[in-house]
Copies of this chain bind each other. A is one copy, B any other.
């Protein structure tokens, strides 16, 4: 067994955390459009180079902040029936108050930068899809979903509505909306 340390001064965990926090604070206060690498560095008390050394863009910093925060929070309910699972999952998912600035900022960046888009999909969005897929797979096993319904389309419907409302901000995004959508989905798969 050998030491897995690389030579040289190790990466500063203090700086890493200061950067992630600073990014979230700047974002919450001034919005994603006003977010700058220089601003993050200044607030974190860190050199710009320390940011560029570890993250290819400011969006990747924000994504890491989000993943750090959301790490523990993905819970897949297992209530025994599709309607119960869906309501539990969607009411929780739809109550992402405060996350809107983060999510639309990341999405904006993903739309402008294909490289980041891949990271965003793989590290964030696809994880959420997998959680929902688990619920649907259990429902399929129980025979709660008609065999001619494509579960991937159902996932698109659920997250489509979520993101569409997140982006347009034209309709409420809360537990009630989650319940309403859950009931529509249940109706559609019979």
Contact = CB atoms under 8 A, between A and B. Distances in A.
A88 interface: no
Contacts of A152: 171
Interface stretch (A66-74, A75-83, A105-113): A105-113
Please classify the interface of chain A as helix (H, G, I), strand (E, B), loop, or mixed, using the class held by over half of its residues. helix
A164 B156 contact: yes
A1 interface: no
Interface string A51-63: 0000000000000
Contacts of A185: 188
A127 to B, nearest CB: 13
A141 interface: no
A123 interface: no
Interface of A: 32-33, 104-105, 107-113, 117, 121, 125, 149-150, 152-154, 156-157, 159-165, 167-171, 180-181, 184-185, 187-190
